[in-house]
Amino acid sequence: MMAHFAKLDENNVVIAVHVINNDAIMVDGVESESAGIDLLTQIHGHSKWIQTSYNGIFRKNYAGVGYTYDYLRQAFIPPKPFLSWTLNHETCQWEPPVAKPTGPGRHEWDELTQSWFILS
């Protein structure tokens, strides 16, 4: 098993995601986030790390480069894709002002018209 940690800059933006073996951060048989942070700080000399969950078990979303960590929500939030989209505070995902169609084809958002279109 592997543990994943997001490296944050001074604005809490993810600048990298590192993976380490769970065995390296076990304390009394339990995976320890603080042990992971200590190990990564020792290796990289950078001290702002937050563990992320690859399968979304905690912190809402798996961290990716460019995501922001929100300490109040305890969540990684992806970059806002379009100005008109709003943050769903429950899922910490951005949502369009108009629901995405469920029909066939690949739908893309058009910010200018505030509507979905199908790629041909």
Query: Residue by residue, what is the 3-state secondary structure of the chain?
Result: CEEEEEEECCCCEEEEEEEEEHHHHEECCEECHHHHHHHHHHHHCCCCEEEECCCCCCCCCCCCCCCEEECCCCEEECCCCCCCCEEECCCCEEECCCCCCCCCCCEEEECCCCEEEECC
Number of domains in the chain: 1
pTM for this prediction: 0.89
Per-residue tens of pLDDT for the chain, all 120 residues: 899 999 999 999 999 999 999 999 999 999 999 999 999 999 999 889 999 998 878 999 999 999 999 999 999 999 999 999 999 999 999 999 999 999 889 999 999 999 999 987
**Residues contacting 49, CB < 8 A, separation 6+:** 5, 6, 7, 8, 18, 36, 37, 40, 41
Structural domain for 70, as ranges: 2-118
